[in-house]
Amino acid sequence: MKIAMNTPLVEIDGDEMTRVLWVAVKETLLEPFVELKTECYDLSVTERDKTGDRVLLEIKKRYPFEMRGLRRFCAMGWG
C-alpha cells in the first residue's frame, strides 16, 4: 500500500544532470512508496530560450512564496 499525496509535488527540471539525478531519486525512493501527484516545469536553458523565459515567469507567479530559489534568476534580470 502506497502513501497518498494530497498536495502535488512541484517538479522543476533543470539541465541534464539534474534530470538524471531526480529521475533516479523519484523512481528508487519515492514511487515505490508514494502515489505521486506532480506538477512539472522544465527550466532548462533550452526551454527558457524557446519560451522567452515565460516558463520561469509562470512558475514564479504560480508559486510566489514556495519558490524562493527563483529570486536568484529574477535578480539576474529574468522576471
pLDDT, tens only, 53-79: 888 888 878 776 655 544 444 444 444
pLDDT of residue 33: 95
One-letter identity of residue 10: V
More confident call, 46 vs 14: 46
pLDDT mean over 37-41: 84
Q: Where are the domains of the chain?
A: 3-75
pLDDT mean over 34-50: 86
pTM: 0.62
